[in-house]
């Protein structure tokens, strides 16, 4: 669940800082990317070297890097993070956070972070019970931050009570649970088609196209990250998948794509057909390589099976079907017609007129049209961000 998530840990001055070495290891083991920002006081409790070694990233403390004088950009750091966890959060840092004080890199990063912020208080029991601390924590909660409550037990002072930072394992499972809330597709089965198809002419030649499969793969990865069980039916491509929740079925021809997709569709809640399927195939496939000397210079073609249209016919109540359309003229009009003719819920329209959209690029520029004719145009974005936009639109349809 935490694989490839960007986790920013803010470490402040408390004896519990030593536990962050273990916490960092736990996050890294889960496949998360961890960056650490420390207050100066925290470096008295644990060395930046320990944490940079474990997190595999330099630990940041000051606004500028001592030797090089290079600026440590707190805004970039805040934007990089999927979540920020301030642990241990000392009474002093909590007070500063509650009052917008920004006298170190950690606090500046907190103020500029757009992600969810969690804080795990660590302090002596009387400090934790003090009305000012209580009021500050209340303020932080009102700001939308989330507390990872301290535990009861023996404190560094020898006193027994509430104030001990939550154990690293507890913090890990807390954060995992939070991420599971961001898995709106948990338990849903999604079929995705991607890449080109190759239609054989003879044993060495084929009719194909320039599709790289990048858009379909970006969709499959993003769907899996959001909890879906994905069946990815893909044509010949150099791409690989990283998420275990993706079941990959490699196919070559439109016929194989049809067979694999119609089968997977029986169980699917959602199908997104992003493959660039050949519309025609040679009527006959030569069993031997066709020679130059061959008299016939013509290849007779016949239509391939249209998987999207077929799934539209088979679609049952509750299933959602999403198609792609690549158009060169009267785009919106043609796309709306396809929604109707193929019984789609949503169509993703690419125009060949748009620079940076379409085959092989890492970017795409799309227009989404749903079955109610609601049309939304998007800016040029990475295919990963485009995938997020498409999935968000699908989730809206489900409501």
β pairing state of 189-194 and 116-121: unpaired
Q: Under rule CB under 6 A, which residues in 154-213 are in contact with ligand CTP?
A: 193
**Cis peptide, bond prior to residue 88, ω within 30 of zero:** yes
By beta-carbon proximity to ligand CTP, the closer residue of 38 and 273 is 273
Query: Within 13 A of 367's CA, how many CA atoms are on the CB side?
Result: 20
Contact flag: residue 307 with ligand CTP (CB under 6 A): yes
Q: Is 119 one of the binding residues for ligand CTP (CB under 6 A)?
A: no
Q: Does 123 bind ligand CTP (CB under 6 A)?
A: no
Catalytic residue flag (residue 243):
no
Distance of alpha carbon 42 from alpha carbon 32, whole angstroms: 23
Distance CA 2, CA 225 (A): 9
Work out whether 349 is an interface residue with ligand CTP (CB under 6 A).
Answer: no
> How is residue 164 written in tokens?
């001990």
Structure tokens at 160: 């027994």
Taking CB under 6 A as the criterion, the residue among 2, 20, 107, 325 binding ligand CTP is 325
Using the rule CB under 6 A, is 304 a contact of ligand CTP? yes
Q: Interface with ligand CTP includes 385 (CB under 6 A)?
A: no
Name the one range near ligand CTP by CB under 6 A: 23-31, 93-101, 124-132, 305-313: 305-313
Residue 20 binds to ligand CTP (criterion: CB under 6 A):
no
Confirm if 83 and 118 have CB atoms less than 8 A apart.
yes
d(CA 222, CA 139): 35
Q: Which stretch in 76-84, 181-189, 244-252, 304-312 sits in contact with ligand CTP by CB under 6 A?
A: 304-312
Phi, psi of 35 (to 5 degrees): -120, 150
**What is the smallest separation between the CB atom of 318 and ligand CTP, expressed in angstroms?**
20
Dihedral sign from CA coordinates of 112, 146, 388, 8 = positive
Which residue out of 72, 92, 209, 243 is catalytically annotated?
Answer: 209
What is the Rg, in whole angstroms, of the alpha carbon atoms belonging to the chain? 27
Nearer to ligand CTP by C-beta: 115 or 326?
Answer: 326
* Torsion sign (Cα): 113, 115, 116, 117: negative
Does 351 bind ligand CTP (CB under 6 A)? Our answer is no
Q: How far is the CB of 215 from ligand CTP (least distance, A)?
A: 11
Minimum CB distance to ligand CTP smaller for 54 or for 251: 251
- How many residues of this chain bind ligand CTP (CB under 6 A)? 14
The rounded distance, in Å, linking the Cα atoms of 37 and 190 is: 39
Asked if 254 interacts with ligand CTP (CB under 6 A), we say yes
Query: What is the C-alpha to C-alpha distance for residues 149 and 77, in angstroms, rounded to an integer?
Result: 25
Among 7, 323, 365, 384, which residue interacts with ligand CTP (rule: CB under 6 A)?
Answer: 323
Provide the binding-site residues for ligand CTP, judged by CB under 6 A. 193, 254, 273, 275, 277, 279, 304, 306-308, 323-326
Which residues are tagged catalytic? Answer: 209
């Amino acid at each position: 669940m935490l694989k490839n998530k960007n986790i920013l840990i803010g470490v402040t001055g408390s004896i519990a800082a030593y536990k962050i070495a273990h916490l960092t290891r736990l996050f890294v083991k889960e496949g998360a990317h961890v960056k650490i920002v420390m207050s100066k006081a925290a470096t008295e409790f644990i060395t930046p070297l320990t944490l940079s070694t474990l997190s595999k990233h330099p630990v940041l403390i000051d606004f500028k890097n001592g030797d090089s004088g290079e600026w440590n950009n707190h805004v970039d750091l805040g934007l990089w993070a999927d979540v920020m966890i301030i642990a241990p959060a000392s009474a002093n840092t909590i007070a500063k956070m509650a009052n917008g004080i920004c006298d170190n890199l950690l606090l500046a990063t907190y103020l500029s972070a757009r992600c969810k912020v969690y804080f795990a208080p660590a302090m002596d029991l009387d400090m934790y019970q003090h009305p000012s601390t209580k009021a500050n924590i209340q303020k932080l909660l009102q700001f939308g931050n989330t507390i990872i409550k301290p535990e009861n037990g023996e404190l560094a002072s020898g006193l027994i009570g509430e104030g001990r930072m939550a154990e690293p394992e507890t913090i890990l499972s807390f954060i995992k649970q939070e991420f599971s809330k961001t898995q709106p597709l948990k338990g849903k089965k999604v079929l995705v088609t991607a890449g080109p198809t190759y239609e054989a002419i003879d044993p060495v030649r084929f009719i194909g196209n320039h599709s790289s499969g990048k858009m379909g793969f970006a969709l499959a990865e993003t769907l899996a990250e959001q909890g879906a069980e994905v069946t990815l039916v893909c044509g010949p491509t150099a791409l690989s998948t990283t998420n275990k929740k993706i079941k990959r079925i490699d196919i070559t021809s439109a016929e194989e794509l049809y067979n694999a997709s119609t089968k997977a569709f029986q169980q699917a809640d959602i199908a997104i057909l992003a493959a660039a399927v050949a519309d025609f195939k040679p009527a006959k496939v030569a069993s031997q390589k066709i020679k130059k000397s061959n008299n016939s210079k013509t290849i007779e073609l016949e239509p391939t099976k249209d998987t999207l249209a077929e799934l539209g016919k088979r679609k049952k109540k509750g299933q959602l079907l999403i198609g792609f359309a690549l158009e060169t003229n009267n785009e919106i009009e043609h796309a709306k017609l396809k929604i109707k003719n193929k019984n789609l819920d949503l169509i993703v329209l690419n125009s060949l007129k748009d620079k940076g959209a379409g085959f092989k690029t890492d970017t795409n520029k799309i227009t989404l049209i749903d079955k109610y004719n609601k049309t939304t145009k998007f800016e040029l974005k990475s295919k990963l961000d485009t995938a997020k936009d498409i999935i968000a639109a699908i989730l809206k349809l489900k409501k």
